[in-house]
A and B are shown apart, each in its own frame.
Chain A
Amino acid sequence: MKPGFLAKNPSVMWFLLILAIFTLGVTFLSHAYGPGVISTSMVKTLGKTLCLCLIAIAMDLVWGYTGILSLGHFAFFGLGGYMIGMWLMYERTRDIVLSSAGSFPMTPQEVNDAIGTQIFGVVGGSELPAIWTFAGNLPMQLLFVVLVPGLLALIFGWLAFRSRVTGVYLSILTQAMTLALSLYLFQNESGLRGNNGLSGLQNIPGVSAGQDQLSVWFLWASAVALGLGYIAAAFIVSGKFGSVIRGIRDDEARVRFLGYSVEGYKLFVFTLTAVIAAIAGALYYPQAGIINPGEMAPIASIYLAVWVAIGGRGRLYGAVMGAAFVSIVSSWFTGGRVPDIPLGFYTIQWVDWWQVLLGLAFVLVTLLAPKGLSGIVDLLEGIRSPDRHGDPLGPDQGSLQQKEAQE
């Protein structure tokens, strides 16, 4: 008698249920489909949060389960955003160009030139760079969402894992990659409008629905992606593959002596999670409306590690809890809605002090509650963890470095 996948993974059922209730709840409280208790901008924030939960799952797979503390997954997230952003911006500009031309006929070349001038005027250019060749082709750009970050991860991972770079050195390497990519994109010559980034992404070409409706549709798309991502991740970690990657995390040399190619597994997970991150990014940025290279700064990827650590790495729902909790609390603190605390000699302004609070929370969780927020679920279930005879299990080498980077 074999229990089914869902029966063996009750957390998947629970997760999908909660996700469905949440999405339905938001929908029927939104402007477009309900009384409007939840504002459109709030719907967007919640939709974006779902995307952040999805990249947190990717981070948990690569770090919590496989032990690779990647500080570069936001680069893949951003690249995914850029790939879809190119299409959004190109098509919208084309619509504008065509409508302003009115009935005056234009050759395709003229249309293309006009789009180039419109998009690149801001950086003093008028030519559409070669990388925009397929910008008007949605299927191609959707393919690029997966292919470009996937290939980058594949090449980077192949080089790094093949030479057996591990631990802190690998983290530094991933961060260097992220930094290099974001610096490159900051340049106008990169062909993606330098520090201006891509904007107006909230408008979906060919769709006449307003933002209040669109925001709910994107919430749904994000929820579906998150649900599918969760199922896929749960499938990956529940079988023998999960055993092998957790084995790699705890003792990679031992896994090698069992005949598993550790480098191959790492490359597989690294690339797969890069693709998941890219999909999350492709859903995030149309809701954010704008993407610029600053989004891909190394600090973003460090935050990602902090979310997963606070939520509890090595558990999928932990990653989701961490990302949801931190990003919602963060938008609460930085939104200026939390009253300042006047101390007489100094006023604590949460917009500034929130970062410190987050850093502190990270340090405390790492030291005192390594299971993070998801430990609460354990408490509820009354699960006791086995006595590990004091042996360390997870890759902790990266923690110190993050603490340093926080300050």
Chain B
Amino acid sequence: MSDHVIGAQPGNAQLEVSGISVTFDGFRAINNLSFAIGPAELRAVIGPNGAGKTTFMDIVTGKTRPDEGRVLWGETHQNLLKMNEAQIARAGIGRKFQKPTVFEDQSVTDNLMMALKANRSPFSVLVWKAGAKDRARVEEIAAQVGLADQLPRKAGELSHGQKQWLEIGMLLAQEPRLLLVDEPAAGMTLAEREQTTALLVDLAKTRAVVVVEHDMEFVRRLNCKVTVLHEGSVLAEGTLDHVTADQRVIEVYLGR
């Protein structure tokens, strides 16, 4: 199919991670990992449980500090390791968690409004009022993720799959330049999975998207470059057909 997958050219990467390592109580969860993604690129990250996929996202989003290595962002090569979670998010990195995390006690509208791109300082949030444009945008996003008729409901009342969608909607509302999406398909029906792949492919036309997923069918539909992680470092990288033919990948991941 698509052997013409374009990787990030060195120098113009949106995100450039080089040589990072993390140790938890003597256990090396990330081991000299390097990774780069272009400004409008879709990338699937696969690997066995405990390979370090979520930890990798933790490092990029500032939740976990690596012991060594560099994480550079954007054209200006901003050093993300010097920034906290909120600053990194404001710089344009959005994240969807493995376990859907939405604000259960608040309505779908409130969840989306909170995520909507706007000034984040306490003073401007205090006097902020949803304008017609904001409400229209929230409705548009809700329609996009199939929650148009759920807006007034509390997020806690939604089904697992709907929460996944809501979180994706919140991600869209943030208008990030890099989306880190951790196992989006969990708890979704087949039809919803197809919808998700279509959405992710579409989003990647204008921004960088990293998707972690175990479901190989899902990854195949993404039709993009694949990075295989194993024991905290990159085992293989390339098209899906290329990596699935790799003997080591078959051993550690597919063969089981």
Q: Residues on A close to B: CB < 8 A? A: 236, 239-241, 243-244, 246-247, 250-251, 253-254, 256-262, 264-265, 268, 386-389, 391, 393
Contacts and interface: CB of A to CB of B under 8 A. Distances in A.
A262 B86 contact: yes
Nearest to A259: B89
Contacts of B120: 258-261
B157 A386 contact: yes
B128 A259 contact: no
23 contacts: A240-B130, A241-B126, A244-B114, A246-B103, A247-B114, A250-B103, A250-B105, A253-B85, A254-B103, A257-B85, A257-B89, A258-B115, A258-B120, A258-B174, A259-B90, A259-B120, A264-B122, A265-B122, A386-B157, A388-B156, A389-B156, A393-B104, A393-B105
A262 B63 CA distance: 14
A274 to B, nearest CB: 15
B128 A240 contact: yes
Contacts of B195: none
B183 to A, nearest CB: 16
Interface in B92-148: 94-95, 97, 101, 103-106, 110, 113-115, 120-122, 125-126, 128-130
B95 A256 contact: no
A386 B85 contact: no
B138 to A, nearest CB: 12
Contacts, number: 88
Given A244-B114, A253-B63, A239 B122 contact: no
Contacts of B113: 240, 243
Interface string B31-42: 000000000000
Contact of B114 (A236, A243, A256): A243
Leading 8 A-B pairs by shortest Cβ distance = A259-B89, A256-B85, A259-B90, A386-B154, A268-B122, A388-B156, A261-B86, A241-B126
Nearest to A387: B157
A259 B118 CA distance: 10
B123 to A, nearest CB: 8
Contacts of B84: 256, 261
**For the complex, would chain A's binding face be called helix, strand, loop or mixed by DSSP majority?**
helix
A247 B170 CA distance: 14
Contacts of B197: none
Central interface residue in B84, B110, B121, B122, by most chain A CB within 10 Å:
B122
A107 B174 CA distance: 68
Contacts of B130: 240
Contacts of B153: 386
B30 to A, nearest CB: 19
A239 B126 contact: yes
Nearest to A266: B122
B122 A258 contact: no
B239 interface: no
B125 A241 contact: yes
Central interface residue in A250, A259, A386, A391, by most chain B CB within 10 Å:
A259
B61 interface: yes
A165 to B, nearest CB: 16
Given A254-B101, A257-B89, 11 more contacts: A250-B104, A253-B63, A257-B94, A258-B114, A258-B120, A259-B89, A261-B122, A387-B156, A388-B104, A388-B156, A389-B156
